[in-house]
Structure 1
Amino acid sequence: MNLTRDEKMKFGFDIDDTLINLREHAFSLYKQKLNKDLSLDVFHAIKKVEIHEPFGLTEDQGKEMWNSSLEEIYFTTCPPFTGAVETLQELYNQGHEIYYITARPKEHGERTKDWMKQQGFPIQDERFFYGMKDDEKINIIQQLKLDYYVDDKPAVLNTLTGEPVKLIVKDQSYNQDLDMDRIVTWTDFPEIIQGN
């Protein structure tokens, strides 16, 4: 299956909640740690990125919980979204350039890259960027002159709406207001690219 037209292109991808199901993974970890039996319906009803409210945690407690759990959240059994690895492998095999642009902190960058490689994502070290704030991603995306960029966060995508890059949002409960091409499942990706 040829995902794209014949010309070689530059694709940029966020990682967390775009390629991998991080928030749902963290939600499961929170359930275990806090001994709370909350359904996935509760998770899917959360309309913001942060997941602490259903557990009765304040914003400060939520930050503390997230930060103290980062090792487990980032480097244990968080699954890639179905079809994400295969889609990026297909792009790579067709000769396209694949860039990863994540706001994960600098101290987790190299381990994140290694973890992503173990999951099967096609990664070239010089095309893996980390350690910037969400609103700083625009600088890297401008420098790389990407053709396409995929992210889940409105705060990131909204900084890019005036740029020449084609934006695609990975569907999440907190980004329903965004009016742009949307990946609900990664099997949507070829159709979106071919339609542009």
Structure 2
Amino acid sequence: MIIGVDICNTIARVNEALALHFLGTYTIPESLQKQRRWDLPGLTPDFFRSPTGMIFLSQVQPYNGAAEVLSSFVRSGHKVIYITARPQETELVTRRWLKEHHFPCDEVIHSEEKGLVCIEKEVDVMIEDDPFYAQQIKEAGVSLFLVKQRYNATFPAPKMDWKMARLILPKAVGKNIKSERN
């Protein structure tokens, strides 16, 4: 099975780090918790391409348990592909971050067309957080799980966190793939 995995706010705690960097607190203000993208002074569209943005991405912390769950899938014979909307310029920083935090890493694809990438790479299931990309993935007919976030609470897809992922993903993924292919 091929498992696609987003990075920002799926395996990497980017929003918490953004709150600390721009607001001085790990606590995400209530007004921002339901927004998938934030309008903060200094958070420009090119922030993640800048030297400051690259350093920022290298220092983001992973979600507890994510690396272990994905590594267990690889040990079981599955392939993990990271499909991220991060700019291509972040490739080296992203790969270093994955290695530093013990994520299995074979392939990293940078694209804002995640549904198309899932089709091209024959992804069986995608783990995402962002409703915008989740809609692309759903329209591509790929099984989808969302890492629980306030901004994706109303999106019609199964939600999970990494604590429950080890228990629910192997069973649920098998059922979803069988039902979609039959």
TM-score computed with the length of structure 1 as normaliser: 0.77
Aligned to 2:86: 104
What count of residue pairs does the alignment treat as equivalent?
170
Give the conservation status (yes or no) of the 8 Å contact 1:149–1:165. yes
Q: Deviation string for 1:66-98 (max 9, x for gaps)?
A: 45541232112x111011010011111111111
Aligned match of 1:81: 63
The structural deviation recorded for 1:163 is 2.9
Q: Deviations over 1:13-71 (max 9, x none)?
A: 00000011011012111134xxxxx5715158521123345xxx4xxx54279455412
The corresponding residue for 1:173 is: 150
Q: What SS does the corresponding residue of 1:16 show, helix, strand or coil?
A: coil
8 A Cα contact 1:18 1:170, kept in partner: yes
RMSD: 2.2
Normalising by structure 2, we get a TM-score of 0.83
Q: Distance in 2 between matches of 1:191 and 1:174?
A: 22
Q: Residue 48 of structure 1 aligns with which residue? A: 35
The yes-or-no answer on 1:145 pairing with 2:137 is no
**1:30: which partner in 2?**
22
Give the partner amino acid of 1:63: T
Matched, 1:93 2:75: yes
Residue identity opposite 1:79 in structure 2: Q
**Equivalent AA in structure 1 for residue 78 of structure 2:** H
Tell me, yes or no, if the aligned pair for 1:85 and 1:120 is still in contact at 8 Å. yes
Q: Secondary structure at the match of 1:145?
A: coil
How much does 1:179 deviate? 1.5
Q: Judging changes above 3 Å, is the alpha-carbon distance between structure 1 residues 41 and 161 closer, same or farther for their aligned structure 2 residues?
A: closer
Find the residue that maps to 1:140 and give its secondary structure: helix
Measure, in 2, the Cα distance between the counterparts of 1:89 and 1:104: 22
Which of 17, 30, 44 aligns to 1:63? It is 44
Q: Against the structure 1 CA distance between its residues 42 and 65, is the aligned structure 2 distance closer, same or farther, given a 3 Å change threshold? A: farther
Percent identity over paired residues? 22
Give the distance between the partners of 2:157 and 2:141, measured in 1 at CA.
14
- Indicate the residue corresponding to 1:123 in structure 2: 105
Measured in 1, the distance between the counterparts of 2:128 and 2:90 equals 19
Counterpart of 2:178 in structure 1 is none
The answer to whether the 8 A contact 2:32-2:38 is kept is: no
Higher relative contact order (CA 8 A, sep 6+): 1
In structure 2, the partner of 1:6 is none
